[in-house]
Structure 1
Amino acid sequence: MSQNNFKLVECPRDAMQGLHDYVPTELKAEYLNLLLQVGFDMLDFGSFVSPKAIPQMADTAEVLAQLDLSITSTKLLAIVANLRGIESAVKHQAIDYLGFPFSISETFQQRNTNSSIIQSLKTVEEMLSLCTKNNKKAVVYLSMGFGNPYGDEWNYEIVEKWADVLVTKGVEILSLADTVGVSTPEKIESILPKLISRFNHTEIGIHLHATPAERFEKIESAYRSGVKRIDSALKGFGGCPMAADDLTGNIATEDVIGYLTAKGENLNLNMDKWNEAMVLSGKIFH
């Protein structure tokens, strides 16, 4: 664990991936280098996925080469969606974590990774094996973890079943992901405590999407649920371009910082660097 009680995961990859205008590699690297100095536990910085699917992330390896990791204790996380991506990501010594979106909605798994849930489970097994061989750790996102807009069956038992399967396979970090913003405070507070209690040797996190009006109540519910790992993005930018057509943004990091600080949590963040990143973000997100 980090010095503080919370693992904060900043997600510029999620924020940038759906942007229509291509962000130059140097600007991406400048932004990430600022975020690396803030003191987050982890930076979800890029992805090794098909450039056809996510053109914005085609330069992830080039961006990585420009990151100054001597100035930070923040760990790097890269998203992967298939074996080719996993094999590319594990070659990079600077990457500590590989993240895989494992959807419990069959429709979304096909839409997001072009594979079925069962095929994706095989990919997770391959990822776990390659992570072990290359001294990396796997993070699996249970995407559509709070429901889905496609009419696929969803209930807590389905969430728990797939969590159980993944933990049994050796996954040590699970993040329950609300890909399209359908979570509610009630759902968060009924699901998370049960998962945390049931899988008490597994790190359980949360990756929420929300409209600005809903952010605060969702952060509060996650906190009350006992979650110690929270994904968010500066100013709440982003959303999943493979999901519903109207994007619901990420939880805003400044809201998470504000809420946790008000609760007396010591986050050990460099707010000067954070403010610099906030200013620079205006060049990327406009």
Structure 2
Amino acid sequence: MKQRSIKLIECPRDAMQGLHDFIATDVKAAYINLLLQVGFDTIDFGSFVSPKAIPQLRDTREVLSKLDLTTTRSKLLAIVANLRGVEEAVVHNEITYLGFPFSISETFQQRNTNSSIAQSMDTVKQMLELCDKNGKTAVVYLSMGFGNPYGDEWNIEIVEKWAAELVANGVKILSLSDTTGVSSPEKIRKILPSLVRKFENTEIGLHLHSTPNTRFEKIEAAYESGCRRFDSALKGFGGCPMATDDLTGNLATEELITYLESRNEALNLNMDKWWEAVEYSQKVFPLY
């Protein structure tokens, strides 16, 4: 298997979506514009979902119109949860990636997208067709990939079964997602190498939620298991508001950067702009 370069996906969308107080559109846009100058592979910037489901992101279109993409190498990713969201997102030329949360927990798929796993697989198939027609790339998140708190059956075979079906239908990027922070270094080391080996022509990433005291060991386990695509958020902000009341935050980007640099990975980031974004984040997340 050839060595792949590191891809860092910064996720302000995930960081902001669970906050109760609405963040002004101009503040969101200014924050994302700073992140766009850092040099991440992708910015997960917004969401084409019902405003009733995620009211914080009801201004995604307005935010998009205020982003300056003229001097960035970063690509934009937007989350969708149903076919209507796909249709709304694909018309925007600025967006490269559409992300869809495909849960292997029936309970959470209903809770998150108001559809069954079978219905969601149909949505993925239609999304892939629309992405092909509109020059977009689908990123499918294998949600609840490390277990779930709902009592739904989970094991590695179930993870690999759904991964295989998604890949067979044309998914080129899979992101194994720990929606509620139940992953462990042991689980990562057990699951990830098998996926990387079995689907060598598919980009396998990780979207981990974690408490601060377990982040580093999870990053290390992921890197040593062959992961080269990491989702993270500045200071570890965020989590999934559809999963639990107490948010388990994202991987902290600064900790990810520190670890990867310790492994001599060339990230080619503009750290001056990064620290500007860190400082500006106090306006976005004033209560943190």
TM-score bracket relative to the smaller structure? over 0.9
Per-residue deviation, 1:208: 0.3
For the residue of structure 1 that corresponds to 2:70, the secondary structure is helix
List aligned pairs for 1:132-147, cutoff 5 A: 132-147=132-147
**Distance in structure 2 (CA, Å) of the matches to 1:165 and 1:263:** 34
Deviation of 1:154 (Å): 0.2
Q: How many residues are aligned here? A: 283
Identical positions, percent = 72
SS in 2 for 1:96: strand
Which residue pairs with 1:130 in the alignment? Answer: 130
C-alpha separation between the residues in 1 aligned to 2:30 and 2:124?
32
SS of the residue aligned with 1:272? helix
Provide, for residues 107-150 of structure 1, a one-character-per-residue CA deviation record: whole Å limited to 9, x for no partner: 00000000000000000011000000000000000000000000
CA contact (8 A) 1:149 1:244 kept: no
Give the Cα–Cα distance (whole angstroms) in 2 for the partners of residues 261 and 5 of structure 1.
13
Cα distance in 2 for partners of 1:277, 1:244 equals 28
Rounded to whole Å, the distance in 2 between the matches of 1:25 and 1:140 is 27
Rounded to whole Å, the distance in 1 between the matches of 2:233 and 2:247 is 14
SS at 2:205 equivalent: strand
- SS at 1:245 equivalent: coil
Root mean square deviation, CA, Å: 0.6
Do residues 201 (structure 1) and 184 (structure 2) align? Answer: no
Structure 2 CA distance for aligned equivalents of residues 233 and 271 of structure 1: 15
Residue correspondence of structure 1 range 62-101 to structure 2 within 5 A: 62-101=62-101
Q: Give the match for residue 51 of structure 1.
A: 51
Cα distance per residue 1:190-219 (max 9 Å; x no partner): 000000000000000000000000000000
| Offset at residue 5 of structure 1 (A) | 1.6
Q: Which runs of 4+ in 1 moved over 4 A?
A: none
Q: Where does residue 243 of structure 1 map in the other structure?
A: 243
Aligned partner of residue 138 in structure 1, secondary structure: strand
The answer to whether residue 174 in structure 2 is matched with residue 174 in structure 1 is: yes
Answer yes or no: is 1:148 the counterpart of 2:130. no
Q: Give 3-state SS (helix, strand or coil) of 2:150's partner.
A: coil
Distance 1:254 1:54 in 2: 27
Instruction: Note the alpha carbon deviations across 1:220-279, whole angstroms, 9 max, x for none.
Output: 000110101000000000000000221100000000000000111010000000000000
What runs of 5+ residues in structure 1 fail to find an aligned partner?
A: none
Q: Give, in angstroms, the shift of residue 71 of structure 1.
A: 1.5
Q: Distance in 1 between matches of 2:93 and 2:265?
A: 32
Matched, 1:281 2:281: yes
* Partner in structure 1 of residue 118 of structure 2: 118
Distance, in Å, in 2 between the alignment partners of 1:247 and 1:153 is 23
Residue aligned with 2:145, SS: coil
Q: Which whole-Å deviations, capped at 9, do the CAs of 1:19-49 have from their partners, x for residues lacking one?
A: 0110000000000000000000000000000
1:231 aligned counterpart, secondary structure: strand
Instruction: Check conservation: 1:29, 1:63, Cα contact below 8 A.
Output: yes
Letter aligned with residue 156 of structure 2: Y
SS in 2 for 1:88: helix
What residue number does 2:16 align with? 16
Query: How far apart, in 1, do the equivalents of 2:120 and 2:255 lie?
Result: 33
Task: Provide structure 2 residue ranges, at least 5 long, that are not aligned to the other structure.
Answer: none
Q: 2:217 corresponds to which residue?
A: 217
The answer for the alignment partner of 1:186 in structure 2 is 186
- Determine if contact 1:196/1:204 at 8 Å carries over to the other structure: yes
TM-score by length of 2: 0.98
User: Which residue in the other structure is 2:271 paired with?
Assistant: 271
SS at match of 2:204: strand
